[in-house]
Structure formats: C-alpha cells, structure tokens
Structure 1
Amino acid sequence: MPTSIQAYEDVVDSLPLTQKIGQLLMPAAFVNDSEDEIQRLESQIRELGIGGICFFHSRASAATNFEGEKEVPVNPDSLGRLKELIARYQKASAIPLLIAIDAEWGLAMRLENGEAYPYALCLGALPPGHELVRRTGFRMGLDCKAAGIHWNLAPVADVNLNPANPVIGYRSFGADHHHVAQHAVSLYRGMQQAEILGCAKHFPGHGDTATDSHLELPVLDKSADSLDAIELLPFRSLISAGIEGVMPGHLTVPSLDPTGLPATLSPTMIRDVLRGKLGFRGVVVSDALNMHAVSKRYAAPGELAAVALNAGNDILCFVEDLEQSVAAIADKVSHGDKNSITAQRLEDSFARVWKLKERVFQSDTTTSSPNSNEPKLKPESPGALRKALAAATLTAVKTRTTERDTTRRAWILAGEDLGPFESELGAGHLGNSMRISWDKQGILSQDSRWPLPDESEVVLVLAPPKLKPAGNFGLPKSFTDFLVTLCEQRNVSLCLLGNPYVLNLPGCAQAAEILLAYSPLAEFQKQAARYYLGKVEAPGNLPVKIPGH
C-alpha cells in the first residue's frame, strides 16, 4: 500500500499520458457493493492509474436515484466496511489515492453508523462567528481522518433563496449571503484544523433554483450584478480562506454564459469567472458526471469527461465509463483541431492535482495552516457537540400571546423514533397522548379521520419522514389535512424536528406556538422536551424566510 508520493518535478516528464489522465479521474466507490464490482474497480485503479475515489453509500442511493424507488441496502457497519475498502483500493494503487466523500453533516450522510451532526440550515440558526460552527467542522474532520478520508466535499456555499429548491434547501446555511459566507468559512476552518481538505460547492450558486440537477438542468436566471453581490460572496470568502477545491454546479447561468452550457462544462464559468474574476488557483472538482443535467447531453462514452476536462475541471468526479474516458481524452490531446484538448490544458490539471496529493502524502498536515488568530480546538465527543448544538440552535419561531394551560394539555407524537423526546419529558406528562406514524406507503394507521383531542392545549411533535420538500416532505395528505383542522380548532404548539421549510405547509401558520428543533437526533429531541418542561430557553434564529413567521 503506497504511503508516500514523489515530487511533481520527478514525475512530470516520466509519467505516461494515459496515467496523467487517470490521475484526474475520481470514480464513485460504493460502501455497499458486490464483490464483483469491488474487484472491477480494483482492476481499473491498477490498469488506468486512477487518482482518487469518492465514496457513496450504495448504487441505489447515489445521485440520480436519490429520489428513486430502488431498495437501498442497510448495513449496520458501513463505517467498518468503508475502512476495509479504503485499504483494499489503496493497496491496488501504485500511487496513493485521494479519498473523498460528501460528509456535509458528518459521515452519517453516507454511512448508517457514521456520526451525525445537524445539517447546515440548523447551524444557520447560530449567529455569525459562533464557535460551534468551527467546532462542528473540526469534529467532522476528525471523523473523516479516522476513517482514512482526506477530502470532505464541503461546505455547501449556496445561498438558499428558493423555498421550493428540491436539491439544496437544508444543505445551505440560510438565505442571507453574508451569513452563509461566514458560516461556510467557519466550518472550513474547523475541517482545516483537523487536516482535512475542503471543497466549496456548487459554484456559482445553486440555492435560487427550483430544479433538481440530478434529473434536469436548472437555470439561474439572475443579473450579473445580483450574482456578484449575493451568490458569489461565499465562494469569494472561501477562496480567500484558502479552500483547496471548488465544485461547479450543473446549472446554466445566462447572464454570465449565454451559451446555455452548464457551469460544469463552461470554459467561461470556470476559466473566466472562477479562475479569472475570483482568482481561484486550487483544484476544480466537477459535480457528479452521472447526473442527468449533464449526462443526457452526450451519448458517446467518454465524451462528457473530455468536454468537462477541456472546460477547466481538474478532477472528474463520478465518471462511469473510465476506460472510454481515458481513451477519449487521450485522443483529443493528440489531435490539433478546434475541439482538441491542448497538452498544456491537461498538464495544468495534472500539476494541480499532483501537488495537492503532495500536500496530503508528503507532509504532516493536509491543509494550509489554520488562521493563527483562532484558538486551537480540542477534540470533544460527538455526543457532547450535538448536545451543545441542540441547546444553542433551538428556535422559538412563534411564541404564544396567551398563557399555556398546562393542566389540560394533550400530546400528539407524529413520526418514527421519538423515544428520546418521550423519555426526557417523562411518562407523567404523556398521560393523554396520541401517536401517529407512517412508512413509505403513507400513514400506518389507515384511519384518516383521526379524532381531535378534547383538550384545548395540544402539543404536536412532528418528525417528517423526509428532509427534502418533494411530496410535502413525505407527509401523506391525510396527515396534512389533519394538521390544518387541528390548528384551526385547537391552540397548537408545533414542535418541528426537521427542515424549517416544513413550516410552509398548510396549517402551520395557524399554530399558536412554533418551536423549531431542526433535527430528530436524540440530543435535539431532548432539548425540545426540556423547553416544554420550562427548563431551557430557545436562543436560535430562523435562518430562512418563512411567510407568516
């Protein structure tokens, strides 16, 4: 297994063209995959000189099937399997592999037993500069490092201005561009101190769109001045902070590139705007090239990879046709027509990628030195960090104008795995309670005519089944109809353990009180219960605009 790497100057003239191309490829590796597929990737790593791999949970849960119906395998020890596969793939490679993963809210984003932290929109409830954001990045970075990962493809630098955004939403720090910029830098600073590489995404900003780029091509139809003032600010800030990578998004931006090309495939967006205007000198990592926003454009195997490289991407992520991509790129380098890839274009990308690998494998620190003005962080347990985050982010979106009648209070617990809330509240407070649960097919109780509680005071604890807005966050119509009726006829305190945008659903605005706990993680459930017991306050701030709140 390789543990060190030669200097760029020692390989620049000796490494064959095809191996230089291979170093720019970062195919997907699946933690839960068949042995045949694992051996196939090992062979490709050996034969093509692959430079890195990006881990996903499984083929059924990756990218273009994210909203699909394929059955997703469950592996209670995905983390252990990840470590095994990293060792196998590194052993198969003559040159150390860069190991990447999307761990925007921790390894749990891809692994059942990876540590989970709240998603970015929850961190957005903290004021700018709050130390907990940096501590979260540090803890996530330590988790990645312990697993053998070098590169966390985070933070998300998108400013989420569209409540209906199907693909960003809760992954963004919020709707205020200054706020997003400060939080993104803080999270990266924490990762940096843990010696983990970072990547700002999805350039030039995917937040003000309403199309899922896994499936179709979004259009960001805003003026150049507006983009410069809002969407580009977080990317500027992260570039100034020394971020190692930037990931262009699969979206077209007519005001900056009228050709209609996605930013991922646009020389104007990458070379002129990102490198020219913003001055980025690091590694450009394409978004997953299997996503339909770009993959549908090219039928010939390998053609998409060649176009993406020629546009200015240095690393081609989630390339599916590896052999054909190497061949197609090599062919275009050797030709001299207008569609060719110049030898210099290829060499520029190879140099950037190789020198980044030198930083990872030739020194004791993966990243550039953290800001000397910031105090050095000390490791803390994931549970302690989650507890601190739950206390600091709990948000009172709407408070009562009348006194609570705690003597005649009914509880409705809607969702799965609400045991932490129940145990913290105590059985004595749940004497009059009702439970509602659902699965992928809808409400498990087939009775859509649920009785309203007799009590005037009702606390509805809601943990929606999905974080994304598709299909009302997975909430069946029978439940949302019930919610409307309940809020019209009773004094309801709504406790939301999920995406703040759920508050846009019918009925929520009529709730007499709204408590936002952001996450169903146990620590967040317990903090919400303490609020109803009168033991804690709710200091967080709503990071997005919700009409009526």
Structure 2
Amino acid sequence: MNKSQKIAQCFSPAAFIHDSEENYQAIEKLIQEQEIGGLTFFHSRHSAAANFEKRAETLDVAGTFEKLITLINRYQKLSKIPLLISIDGEYGLAMRIEKTPQYPFAITLGALKKDAEQWVEEVGYHMGMDMKRSGIHLNLAPCADVNTNPNNPVIGYRSFGDDAEKVAKLSFAAYSGMKKAGIGACLKHFPGHGDTAVDSHLGLPILHKSKEELKTEELLPFQYGIDRGVEMIMVGHLAVPALTVGKDLPASISRELITDLLKEEMGFQGLVISDALNMKAVANLFPEPGELEWQAFHAGNDILCFSDHVKEGIQKISQNTSDEEVNAVFGKIIDLKKRLGVMESKTIEVPTFDWDQHSRLQKDLAKNYVSVIWGELNPSEIQALAKAGKLGYNEFFTQTASHFSLNLKLDFETADKAEKVILTVFVPSHKPLNQFGMDQAVLVEIQKLAKSKPCILVHFGNPLALKHLGNLENFEAVVCAFQGFEEVQEVVVKLFL
C-alpha cells in the first residue's frame, strides 16, 4: 500500500441512511477512489451534527433499519479493506434509527440506587450486541463528561451526573459492557464538555479552568479509563486556554491537549478519534479544504470523523507527514480492525430483536432508578380518596391518555373538585432549550394547583427540568421517573397501588 492509501484508513466520513441515490453513489466513489477506512452512519442530513436536530417534517423514515443494513452490505462489497462501521448511539441504535431498542439515558442510569456499575455494564453489553448483529463495529460512546453546568445546552442528559468519580465508574462500566459484546467504544468528549455553556455543533465552547482544576473534575473519568486500559477516546471541540498558551484553540486540533497531555502526560496509548469535523466549532476555522484534516491529524487524532474534504485531507496529510508517522497510525487502525473482527466482515442479515428480553431489562432498571425524591406516598389513602370520588388527576404535555393513567385504574374527579390531585408531567424535550419544551402558561398552572391543595407530582423526563416546576416542597410528594418508557410507567403505577 502506498502512503495515501494508508492515510485514507484514518477517514470515517458521514454516511446517511435516508439520502438520495446520487449521494449513495458519492459514498461509493469515496470508497473506490479514496479507499477510506470507515463510515459513520447518521439517520439523515437533517439530523447530523451540522444540522443538529433539524429533521425535516416531510422526511420519509420508513424502513430506516433495513436501509442501514442494505447500505452497510452495499458499501462493504466495494471496499478493498473492510470498512470500520461506526455510529453515535449513546442510548442504543434508537438514537439514530427508529424501531430499534432504546436504553435509558446516561442521566437516568446515573440515578441507579443499587449495583449501578453492574447494571450499566449490562446495558452496555445489550447495546453492543444490538450493534454487532447489525454490522456496526464501533459505538462513539459513552460520554465521560461531568455535567457540572445544569444549563449545559448539549451534554445534560447524556452525562452520568455531576460527580466526577461516579461518572468515571459508570462511563467505564458502559465501555466495558460494549467491549464484552465485541464492539469498540470510546470515552468522550476529552478533555470534558460538562461545564460548558455553548453547543459545539454551533460554536466554540471555552473552558476557563486551570490544569489542576481539570485534573480533579473533567480529566478524572478519562484518567480512570486510561488506567484501566480504555482503547479509544474521542476529543471534543472545546477550548481550554490554560493549556494552549492562552489561545482559544479547539482541543480536537490542539497538539498540546492530545499529544502532550492525553498521550504523554496521562499515558493514553490507544486510538484518538476526532469529534465530527463538520461541526461549527472547527469547520469554519480553516477555509482551505484539507487544512482542518491535516491540523487534526497533526494534533494526534488517529481517526478523522465526519470529514467533508477527504481527498484534500489525504493530500495535505501526505505532504506534511513522514512515512514513519503514517505507518504508526495505519498500524493502530489495522490492529483495531483485526480486534473487532472487521477484517472478517460478511454479508449482514437484518437481525430480529428480543423485545421481551428488552422489556424485562427496562423494567428491572426502572425499579432501581424510579424514586420518591420528596415527601411520601400513601397508597391506601390514595385508593380511599379515589373510591370516595375525591381524587383528581391532571396530565400535562401529552397528546393522548398515557399508559400510566390507563393502568392506574382509579376513579378520578376533576382537579377543582378533588381533595388531592395526581399531576403527571411528560417533559417534551430532554434538552434545556425553552424550558425543556414546556409552555410557561402550563408551568404556572401546575404551580398554582400545587399551592391550592395537596398534589402528588409524577415527573417523566429529565430531572433537570424539575427546576421549572417551582418549589418542590409545595407538592405533597414528588416521584422522579426520569423517562416515559411504558415499562417505567408500569413501575410507577405500582407505587400507587
């Protein structure tokens, strides 16, 4: 293989499941002409990093999973060296693909009360098996970010919490579960994206902390993983001026952060993956095609994710890098492909999922994380009030009656006539933008009701959204259910019966 072919193994551009035939053929051209090393799959161009969560209303999403399998097989047949297929599936394939198993968010798993590490490893294993059966070799997860800023626009629910030691243990547990399933995983977003206030899809977050502060918080989960043999780390697009001579330089293209700090000082010997190179935090820094890819490679990245300029990037890296450096990175990537079974890639059949097993796991997990976080529940009193026609029920932010309300099987009076009211809130969004999607007028209504009579709040959604529901002490009791899965709703029902 020549130098350019070896460099091409570093590239993992985006491949979109829902796309035009013209764009499918453009990927085929990249595989055949540039001989790229891998592909990172996204749902569509409306849900990829640069267009974060702007999925088109008219987009046809039928058969997403089947289309994915078809494309993987189609692309693999054209590649001389089998492609490393990756996906960003922090809570499973469902993060990108409809009608596939979805697992709890990291923030939910961070609330597990017993044997958290074992349960998170179990989740990682099942997630990994779903991917392995689908022809995916690498999951770009989990997040090892410590979410110390509750208003963080991009991490939040993706983090295991605000305690660095807990995040370290649980992110490593998730990583270990995926590795046990036989796929690759990576800790992200080095050096830590949790205490930022800017979404790096849209701009450059800046972390104003000293090296010593970083060591006790942001860097701790990464060091924990490195000490235990983590093989891959993704570097984020955030600046840490204290470590780059005062410059607002993204970590993803900073030699000081990747080579000097991560590799030499922290002792990481595995593969470094760049965050998506089309994200605004870095994409606008270098107008000349290929320059960004070269800067990322020079900084110490081994795999370049979501490059928009593959051909030019290969040329720039070839012009500026020694054969020795290229051979070292190429060797690491081929070794990874061998370890993950990529080199024996076969035609993938569309797998079937064990939905009953998945449901049992969801229920077992929910029993472990659903919590009464304020006050107490008195089931016998609740049932007595219902029989006497004195129990009210109000449901917010749902289009139809919830699984929870249908399974309670209690007789309800209207809230204004009831002595006590059960209020259920299904938080519309897991992101903090616009109060997690909750209408201010409805929030005021909930707060007024809580002050007027005894109310029990059942919160299905991101716990960080609870702050918008006023003083929780105004409620008689608050149940935090974290997510709205049907299995979770069934577990919460049993608290009332």
Q: Give me the TM-score of the superposition, normalised by structure 1.
A: 0.83
> Are residue 303 (structure 1) and residue 286 (structure 2) matched?
no
**In 1, Cα distance between equivalents of 2:104 and 2:377:** 30
Q: Distance in 1 between the 2:333 and 2:401 partners?
A: 46
CA 1:97/1:430 → structure 2, altered by over 3 Å: closer, same or farther? farther
Distance 1:17 1:191, change over 3 A: same
Aligned counterpart, 1:148 = 135
The 10-residue stretch of structure 1 (275-284 or 506-515) with the greater mean CA deviation from structure 2:
506-515
Give CA deviations for 1:412-469 in whole Å, capped at 9, x if unaligned.
122336532133212xx15336xxxxxxxxxxxxxxxxxx633231111111211100
1:189-237: CA deviations, max 9, x gaps? 2111111111000001101111111101111112211210111111112
Contact 1:313 1:349 in 2 (8 A): no
Decide which moves more: 47-56 or 59-68: 59-68
Q: 2:359 matched to which residue of 1?
A: 383
Tell me the residue number matched to 1:491.
454
Please say if 1:78 is aligned against 2:58.
no
Asked if 1:410 corresponds to 2:396, the answer is no
Q: Of residues 474, 488, 491 in structure 2, which corresponds to 1:527?
A: 491
**Counterparts of 1:496 and 1:74 in 2: how far apart (Å)?**
32
Deviation at 1:387, TM superposition (A): 1.0
> Which residue is equivalent to 2:475?
511
2:260 matched to which residue of 1? 272
Aligned positions of 1:324-403 closer than 5 A: 324-330=312-318, 332-333=319-320, 341-361=321-341, 381-400=357-376
Matched, 1:463 2:438: no
Tell me the distance in 1 between the aligned counterparts of 2:78 and 2:141: 27
Structure 2 counterpart of 1:83, which letter?
Answer: I
| Pairing 1:211-226 to 2, within 5 Å after superposition | 211-226=198-213
Partner of residue 443 from structure 2, selected from 473, 480, 483: 480
- Taking structure 1 as reference, are residues 467 and 508 closer, same or farther at Cα in structure 2, changes over 3 Å only? farther
* Secondary structure of residue in 2 paired with 1:514: strand
Give the counterpart letter for 1:421 in structure 2: F
Whole-angstrom CA distance in 2 between matches of 1:69 and 1:82: 18
Is the CA contact 2:233–2:273 (under 8 Å) kept in the aligned structure 1?
yes
Whole-Å Cα distance in 2 between the matches of residues 430 and 287 of structure 1? 52
Following the alignment from structure 1 to structure 2, what is the Cα–Cα distance between the partners of residues 31 and 97? 16
- Give distance in 1, aligned partners of 2:278 and 2:71: 22
Distance 2:47 2:355 in 1: 31
Name the SS for the 1:255 alignment partner: helix
Distance across 1 between alignment mates of 2:367 and 2:42? 31
CA contact (8 A) 1:29 1:53 kept: yes
Q: CA shift at 1:269, angstroms?
A: 0.3
Q: Distance in 1 between matches of 2:58 and 2:452?
A: 40
State the AA in 2 paired with 1:467.
H
> Is the Cα contact below 8 Å between 1:464 and 1:475 reproduced in 2?
yes
Matched, 1:242 2:229: yes
**Structure 1 stretch 341-350 or stretch 198-207: which is displaced more?**
341-350
* 1:29 corresponds to 2:11: no
Answer whether contact 1:60 1:71 (CA < 8 A) is retained: no
Q: Which amino acid aligns with 2:61?
A: N
Q: How does 1:409-428 map to 2 (within 5 A)?
A: 409-416=391-398, 419-426=402-409
Whether the 8 Å contact between 1:139 and 1:380 is mirrored in structure 2 is: no
- Structure 2: unaligned runs, 5 residues or longer: 346-353
Alpha-carbon spacing, 1:359–1:265, altered in 2? closer, same or farther (3 Å): same
Q: Which amino acid aligns with 2:252?
A: T
Sort the Cα spacing of 1:296 and 1:418 in 2 relative to 1 into closer, same or farther, 3 A: farther
- Which of 256, 263, 277 pairs up with 1:289? 277
Question: Within the alignment, does 1:259 sit opposite 2:240 as a pair?
Answer: no
For 2:141 and 2:298, how far apart are their aligned partners in 1?
24
Against the structure 1 CA distance between its residues 241 and 73, is the aligned structure 2 distance closer, same or farther, given a 3 Å change threshold? farther
Q: Which residue of 2 aligns with 1:6?
A: none
Aligned residue identity for 1:343: D
Contact 2:90–2:141 at 8 Å: present in 1 too? Answer: yes
Mapped partners of 2:411, 2:292: distance in 1: 58
Identical residues among aligned pairs (%) = 40
Partner amino acid, structure 1, of 2:495: Y
Letter in 1 for 2:402: G
Contact 1:168/1:207, CA 8 A, preserved across alignment: yes
* Bigger shift: residues 468-477 or 456-465: 456-465
Shift of 1:240: 2.6
Equivalent of 1:131 in 95, 103, 118: 118
Cα deviation for residue 364 of structure 1 reads 9.0
CA contact (8 A) 1:79 1:111 kept: yes
SS at 2:119 equivalent: helix
Q: 1:166 aligns with which of 137, 153, 173?
A: 153
Distance 2:58 2:301 in 1: 31
> How much does 1:129 deviate?
4.6
CA positional deviation for 1:248: 0.7
Alpha carbons of structure 1 residues 342 and 156: separation in structure 2 relative to 1, 3 Å: same
SS at match of 1:31: strand
- On the 8 A contact 1:310/1:345 being kept in 2, the answer is no
CA-CA distance at 1:59 after TM superposition: 0.6
Structure 1 residue 76 displacement after superposition: 4.0
Deviates more, 1:232-241 or 1:353-362: 353-362
CA distance in 2, matches of 1:299, 1:471: 33
3-state SS of 1:458 partner:
strand
Decide whether aligned partners of structure 1 residues 342 and 456 sit closer, same or farther in structure 2, where only a CA change above 3 A counts. farther
1:157 equivalent among 128, 141, 144: 144
Counterpart Cα distance in 2 of 1:508 and 1:29 = 46
User: Given the superposition, is the C-alpha separation of residues 363 and 19 from structure 1 closer, same or farther in structure 2, using an over 3 Å criterion?
Assistant: closer
Distance apart, 1:402 and its partner CA: 8.9
C-alpha spacing 1:418/1:123, structure 2 compared with 1 (3 Å): farther
Task: Tell me which amino acid in the other structure corresponds to 1:463.
Answer: F
